[in-house]
């Protein structure tokens, strides 16, 4: 059930109406907990009516693959609840550490099993082969439960915060279960911390505090980003990434830039819709994006891109590794490790590790650059300020190539014709102009559309639209939203691609 | 209470304004945008009738049981040999049931049909579920207009009777799911979802409009297409079911009032177009089959019921069938002959006034 699908609107309408119709806070939480699990189950069970029929008949053989994945979510929640209680009751530091280790081991174990088992096994096999120790590696047929990377990080944030004594362990299992399974952020974030969300759970939400107009506007923006812009950008990017060598240098650059547009609009659009849906239910989620492509450095980029993940990695990984409380080399090691693991979090592939590594190196380079240009003249700094945004964006585009590169499959033989790394190399060659380029080109309309998108985005970053929007009376804003929604519907694809971050 | 009222009004009024603006924009878009393309097979048959519609005296309308089973060329020959020179066209489309068939007939009658005198319509149940192969497709969207959606809603409100509460609950959920599927298709049509993208892509990629595939009109270009032999059932199982059916023939069922109402609508449309409706019941091997109510039967010139293994055992012979619902070429020829024979008896007495 995607946020842009018709069935989500029906689902949300029912959830919203019942939520505000219920009087008690506990009743509302129970309702939202049930809705969260239903929402999550919808990704795996197919047609709910048919699934109930199969369940009633006990016909487990006919059930869709992964129908039991919601049990993993329950398991993770129960375990973290027990860990939280254990941490609260533990008398010694040693016991607290043991409880925390249990939480980390189980959460990371679940993540490793579902996401990284085959990756580690095949990588180890290749590594041994490299040393001349030939092994026959067998992988498991494992499906990845949607959102596992997101909800395990959320669960871990609870255990770690309770361990760090920043948060009291929750007494009610309902509160924790509700926090982890709150559907707007369940499958693709933003990664909400227990510390910021749980206090909201304890208090009854008040309808009067909901900014309906703001929420509808934000949802509409998210919808347009995902359904119209991202899907259009995907059609250009997909064409290029499938045959990178066929395109001219300029079109190759356009293909990669459109991928940058696609992934930004896809993920930030999802986040906008998630935040808006949560706000309509009275809950506040962490903001996730802040015009990241206008960043003047990679450091700034990571303060503006996937904010909930970057701050999570900073607070729970980078700082745990020692942060910058040591020598320069020690800090750089921590930075690189954090980014490498951040890359690996996105997917079990070496291309993601390289993507993380490129960002880590860029972060280190930026720190050094700041030190190097500390005493530079004002005119030099002015020139650099002008070049900073395009240079940062160019580097980000280079990293996206590794992020997007997918293996080329021989569908008939069921084998890999070209690996992700080889594909990335080809794309990199076409993008930089140092590799093979062809004669195929995207039309001028693509350039015009890109220019219009950049202009709108820039004006939006200058708050031009939001200021004008706030001045409008409610009726005019409502009418414009109605007109805008219909116009947006005209430009959506009939079949959507799943959100990119669902796979993580 | 009075304090709540303005707050409620403050929320409700903008919501209503937004909805109104949405509906008006959708309506305007519908008027400005070129019409959606029609789905394959339907497109070819309607295009053919748009240019040759005036040439036909007889039309056959219904599902694959009409498309596969009635061979117009043979039908015309048999009629001609009985001094009834006519030209017929098979407008049957696979999986076309009520209310889609109602929409399709409307499209046919909107095209030239000066000589049309008889329309054979298949009597069939009105299913509640949107078939899987129509979900999210051009075809599924094409016929979900307001009149058809209303018919669907009426059908969905008719619940099963005489079943336990568990089945009642299950049935309610099924209806709800079916309703949402139809609502999605209706919404897609009403809001013109994705039309802008389609037109923009067509312009951007310089795509030609979907061409007409003459193969969809069949080998004789008269709308008849033989059943697909790839879908042949295993003969052992099929033989077993056919033998059972011969021993205990399918039971006629008037079914629900929505199915009868849908049939009545079809019959009225045909009559209003100046033609005579004839109801056909093809041979099926299920336990039950749909028959028109006495009122509907009286609206038609005749009800040709071929779903009786005792009267037409040849239609239930294994060598004439490919599955429980469809006949093979040999079976189709027998079926067409039986139909032509009945038509010979009906036609002179049922000629519409000209």
Give B299-341 pLDDT, tens digit per residue: 998 999 988 888 888 988 888 888 888 888 999 999 999 999 9
CA distances from B270 to A365, B13, B95, B263 (A): 79, 45, 21, 11
Chain A interface, best mutation among B16, B17, B19, B198, by max A CB count within 10 A: B17
Q: What is the separation, in whole angstroms, between the first and last Cα of chain B?
A: 69
Bridge partners (DSSP) listed for residue B120: B60, B278
Residues of B in contact with A489 (CB under 8 A): 26, 191-194
C-beta atoms of A483 and B22 within 8 A? yes
Segment A145-196, tens digit of pLDDT: 788 888 889 889 999 999 999 889 999 999 999 999 999 988 877 888 888 8
Segment A62-85, tens digit of pLDDT: 888 878 888 888 998 999 999 999
Dist. CA A416–CA A285, nearest whole Å = 41
Residues of A in contact with B195 (CB under 8 A): 490
C-beta atoms of A486 and B170 within 8 A? no
Residues of B in contact with A478 (CB under 8 A): 13-15, 17-18, 21
Q: What is the separation, in whole angstroms, between the first and last Cα of chain A?
A: 16
Residue A59: what pLDDT? 79
Residue A381: what pLDDT? 83
Residues of A in contact with B191 (CB under 8 A): 486, 489-490
pLDDT at A17 over 80: yes
Residue B157: what pLDDT? 85
C-beta atoms of A443 and B204 within 8 A? yes
**B17 CB within 8 Å of a chain A CB:** yes
Residue A79: what pLDDT? 92
Q: Residue A318 — very low, low, confident or very high, per pLDDT cuts 50/70/90?
A: very high
Model-level pTM?
0.83
| Shortest distance, CA B352 to any CA of chain A (angstroms) | 45
Q: Residue A120 — very low, low, confident or very high, per pLDDT cuts 50/70/90?
A: confident
C-beta atoms of A490 and B187 within 8 A? no
Of A151-155, A366-370, B20-24, B234-238, which gets the smallest average pLDDT? Answer: B234-238
Tell me the DSSP string of B189-249: HHHTTTHHHHHHHHHHTTPPPPPP-GGGG-TTSSS-----GGGPPPHHHHHHHHHHHHHSP
pLDDT at A504 over 80: no
Dist. CA B321–CA B328, nearest whole Å = 5
Mean pLDDT, rounded, for B251-279: 90
Interface TM-score (ipTM) > 0.90: no
Chain A interface, best mutation among B197, B200, B206, B207, by max A CB count within 10 A: B197
Which of these, A146, A150, A148, A204, lies nearest to A175 by C-alpha position? A204
Residue A209: what pLDDT? 87
**Residue B324 CB contacts under 8 Å (≥ 6 apart), including other chains:** B233, B238, B241, B284, B285, B286
| Shortest distance, CA A250 to any CA of chain B (angstroms) | 18
pLDDT above 90 covers what percent of chain B?
A: 40
pLDDT at A86 over 50: yes
3-state SS assignment for residue A249: helix
Q: Which residue has the higher pLDDT, A58 or A445?
A: A445
Which of these, A201, A263, A217, lies nearest to A238 by C-alpha position? A263
Contact present, A496 and A4 (Cβ < 8 Å): yes
pLDDT at A418 over 80: no
| Shortest distance, CA B24 to any CA of chain A (angstroms) | 8
Residue A346 appears among annotated catalytic residues = yes
C-beta atoms of B14 and A213 within 8 A? yes
User: How much is the CA Rg of chain A, to the nearest whole Å?
Assistant: 24
Instruction: Count chain A–chain B contacts defined by CB atoms under 8 A.
Output: 100
pLDDT above 70 covers what percent of chain B?
A: 94
Residue B1: what pLDDT? 44
What is the side-by-side strand order in the sheet with B302-305?
A: B88-90, B58-61, B118-122, B276-281, B302-305
**B194 CB within 8 Å of a chain A CB:** yes
C-beta atoms of A494 and B193 within 8 A? yes
Residues of B in contact with A10 (CB under 8 A): 180, 183
Segment B198-210, tens digit of pLDDT: 888 888 888 877 7
List phi, psi (to 5°) of B60.
-115, 125
**Residue A503 CB contacts under 8 Å (≥ 6 apart), including other chains:** A144, A347
Q: Residue A130 — very low, low, confident or very high, per pLDDT cuts 50/70/90?
A: confident
Does a cis peptide bond (omega within 30 degrees of 0) precede residue A329?
no
Residue A26: what pLDDT? 93
pLDDT at A501 over 70: no
pLDDT, chain B, mean: 87
Q: Residue A372 — very low, low, confident or very high, per pLDDT cuts 50/70/90?
A: confident
Residue A503: what pLDDT? 57
Q: Considering CB atoms only, which of B13, B19, B25 is closest to A475?
A: B13
Of A39-43, A308-312, B266-270, which gets the smallest average pLDDT? Answer: A39-43
Dist. CA A308–CA A259, nearest whole Å = 22
By C-alpha distance, the chain B residue nearest A216 is B15
C-beta atoms of B191 and A489 within 8 A? yes
Residue A243: what pLDDT? 85
Positive/negative CA dihedral, A41, A45, A46, A49? negative
CA distances from A357 to A44, A393, A493 (A): 33, 17, 35
* B239-246: long-range contacts, CB 8 A cutoff, minimum separation 24: B239/B318, B241/B285, B241/B324, B242/B285, B242/B309, B242/B316, B242/B317, B242/B318, B242/B321, B245/B285, B245/B309, B245/B316, B246/B309, B246/B310, B246/B313, B246/B316
Q: Residue B6 — very low, low, confident or very high, per pLDDT cuts 50/70/90?
A: low
A19, A306, A346, A359: which one is catalytic? Answer: A346
Dist. CA A269–CA A234, nearest whole Å = 14
∠A12-A14-A19 over CA atoms, to 5°?
95
Contact present, A73 and A181 (Cβ < 8 Å): yes
C-beta atoms of A10 and B180 within 8 A? yes
Positive/negative CA dihedral, B10, B11, B17, B21? positive
Print the SS3 string covering A56-117: HHCCHHHCCCCCCHHHHHHHHHHHHHHHHHHHHHCCCHHHHHHHHHHHHHHHHHHHHHHHHH
**Residue A462 CB contacts under 8 Å (≥ 6 apart), including other chains:** none
- Could you give the dihedral angle defined by the CA atoms of residues B93, B94, B99 and B105, in that order, rounded to the nearest 10 degrees? 10
**B19 CB within 8 Å of a chain A CB:** yes
Q: Which residue has the higher pLDDT, B104 or A65?
A: B104
Helix ranges (H only) for A167-248 are 173-181, 194-202, 212-223, 231-242
C-beta atoms of A235 and B201 within 8 A? yes
Segment B33-43, tens digit of pLDDT: 888 888 888 99
C-beta atoms of B197 and A492 within 8 A? yes
pLDDT, chain A, mean: 87
Residue A385: what pLDDT? 85
Dist. CA A342–CA A334, nearest whole Å = 12
Contact present, A251 and A441 (Cβ < 8 Å): yes
Which of these, A179, A178, A156, lies nearest to A312 by C-alpha position? A156
Q: Considering CB atoms only, which of B21, B187, B201 is closest to A6?
A: B187
Chain A interface, best mutation among B9, B16, B22, by max A CB count within 10 A: B22
| Shortest distance, CA A125 to any CA of chain B (angstroms) | 44
Segment A224-275, tens digit of pLDDT: 999 899 989 998 999 998 888 888 988 999 999 999 999 999 999 999 999 9
Residue A295: what pLDDT? 93
Contact present, A52 and B173 (Cβ < 8 Å): yes
Q: Residue A447 — very low, low, confident or very high, per pLDDT cuts 50/70/90?
A: very high
Contact present, A327 and A262 (Cβ < 8 Å): no
Segment B216-243, tens digit of pLDDT: 898 988 999 887 766 565 677 888 888 8
Contact present, A371 and A303 (Cβ < 8 Å): no
Q: Residue B353 — very low, low, confident or very high, per pLDDT cuts 50/70/90?
A: very low
């Amino acid at each position: 059930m995607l946020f842009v699908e018709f069935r989500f609107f029906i689902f949300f309408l029912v959830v919203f109406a019942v939520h505000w119709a219920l009087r008690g806070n506990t009743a509302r939480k129970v309702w939202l907990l049930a809705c969260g699990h239903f929402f999550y189950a919808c990704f795996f069970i197919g047609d709910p009516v048919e699934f109930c029929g199969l369940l009633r008949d006990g016909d487990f053989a006919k059930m869709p693959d992964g129908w039991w994945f919601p049990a993993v979510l329950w398991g993770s929640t129960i375990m973290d609840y027990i860990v939280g209680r254990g941490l609260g009751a533990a008398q010694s530091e040693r016991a607290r550490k043991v409880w925390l280790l249990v939480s980390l081991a189980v959460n990371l174990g679940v993540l490793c099993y579902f996401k990284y088992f085959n990756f580690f096994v095949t990588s180890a096999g290749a590594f041994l082969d490299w040393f001349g120790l030939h092994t026959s590696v067998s992988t498991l047929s494992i499906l990845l439960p949607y959102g596992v990377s997101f909800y395990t990080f959320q669960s871990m944030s609870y255990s770690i915060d309770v361990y760090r004594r920043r948060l009291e362990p929750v007494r009610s299992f309902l509160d924790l279960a509700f926090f982890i399974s709150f559907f707007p952020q369940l499958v693709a974030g933003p990664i909400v911390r227990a510390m910021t969300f749980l206090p909201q759970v304890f208090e009854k939400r008040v309808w009067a505090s909901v900014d309906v107009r703001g929420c509808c506007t934000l949802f509409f923006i998210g919808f347009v980003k995902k359904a119209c812009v991202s899907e259009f950008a995907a059609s250009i990017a997909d064409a290029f990434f499938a045959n990178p060598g066929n395109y001219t240098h300029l079109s190759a650059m356009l293909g990669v830039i459109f991928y940058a547009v696609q992934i930004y609009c896809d993920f930030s659009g999802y986040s906008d819709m998630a935040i808006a849906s949560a706000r309509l239910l009275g809950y506040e989620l962490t903001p996730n994006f802040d015009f990241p492509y206008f960043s003047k450095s990679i450091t700034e980029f990571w303060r503006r891109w996937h904010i909930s993940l970057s701050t999570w990695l900073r607070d729970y990984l980078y700082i745990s590794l020692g942060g910058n409380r040591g020598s320069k080399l020690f800090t750089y090691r921590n930075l690189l490790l954090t980014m490498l693991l951040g890359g690996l979090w996105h997917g079990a592939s070496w291309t993601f590790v390289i993507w993380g590594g490129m960002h880590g190196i860029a972060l280190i380079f930026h720190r050094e650059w700041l030190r190097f240009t500390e005493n530079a003249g004002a005119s030099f700094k002015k020139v650099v300020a002008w070049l900073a945004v395009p240079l940062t964006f160019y580097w980000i585009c280079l990293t996206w190539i590794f992020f997007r590169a997918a293996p080329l499959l021989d569908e008939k033989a069921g084998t890999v014709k070209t690996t992700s790394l080889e594909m990335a190399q080809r794309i990199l060659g076409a993008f930089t102009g140092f590799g093979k380029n062809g004669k195929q080109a995207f039309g001028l309309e693509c350039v015009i559309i890109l220019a219009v998108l950049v202009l709108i985005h820039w004006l939006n970053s200058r708050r031009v639209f939001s200021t004008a929007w706030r001045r409008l009376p409610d009726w005019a804003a409502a009418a414009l939203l109605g007109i805008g929604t219909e116009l947006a519907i005209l430009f959506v694809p009939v079949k959507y691609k799943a959100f990119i971050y669902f796979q993580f | 209470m009075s304090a709540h009222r303005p707050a409620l009004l403050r929320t409700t009024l903008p919501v209503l304004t937004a909805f109104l603006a949405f509906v008006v924009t959708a309506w305007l878009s519908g008027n400005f945008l070129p019409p959606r393309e029609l789905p394959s097979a339907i497109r070819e048959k309607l295009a053919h009738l748009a240019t040759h519609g005036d040439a036909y005296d007889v039309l056959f309308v219904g599902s694959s049981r009409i498309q596969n089973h009635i061979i117009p060329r043979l039908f015309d020959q048999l009629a001609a040999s009985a001094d009834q020179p006519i030209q017929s066209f098979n407008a049957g489309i696979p999986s076309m049931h009520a209310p889609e068939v109602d929409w399709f007939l409307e499209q046919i009658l909107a095209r030239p049909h000066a000589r049309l005198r008889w329309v054979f319509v298949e009597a069939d149940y009105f299913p509640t579920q949107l078939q899987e192969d129509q979900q999210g497709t051009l075809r599924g969207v094409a016929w979900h207009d307001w009149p058809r959606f209303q018919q669907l809603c009426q059908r969905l409100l008719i619940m099963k009777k005489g079943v336990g509460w568990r089945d009642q609950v299950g049935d309610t959920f099924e209806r709800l799911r079916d309703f949402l599927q139809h609502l999605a298709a209706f919404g897609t049509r009403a809001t013109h979802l994705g039309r802008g993208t389609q037109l923009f892509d067509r312009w951007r990629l310089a795509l030609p409009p979907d061409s007409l595939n003459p193969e969809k009109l069949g080998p004789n270009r008269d709308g008849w297409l033989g059943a697909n032999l790839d879908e042949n059932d295993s003969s052992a199982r099929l033989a077993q079911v056919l033998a059972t059916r011969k021993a205990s023939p399918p039971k006629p069922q008037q079914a629900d009032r929505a199915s009868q109402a849908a049939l009545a609508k079809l019959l009225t449309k045909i009559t209003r177009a100046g033609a005579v409706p004839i109801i056909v019941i093809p041979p099926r091997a299920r336990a039950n089959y749909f028959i028109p109510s006495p009122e509907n039967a009286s609206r038609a010139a005749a009800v040709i019921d071929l779903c009786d293994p005792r009267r037409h055992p040849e239609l239930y012979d294994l060598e004439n069938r490919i599955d429980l619902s469809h006949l093979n070429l040999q079976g189709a020829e027998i079926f067409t002959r039986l139909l032509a024979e009945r038509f010979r008896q009906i036609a002179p007495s049922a000629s519409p006034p000209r």
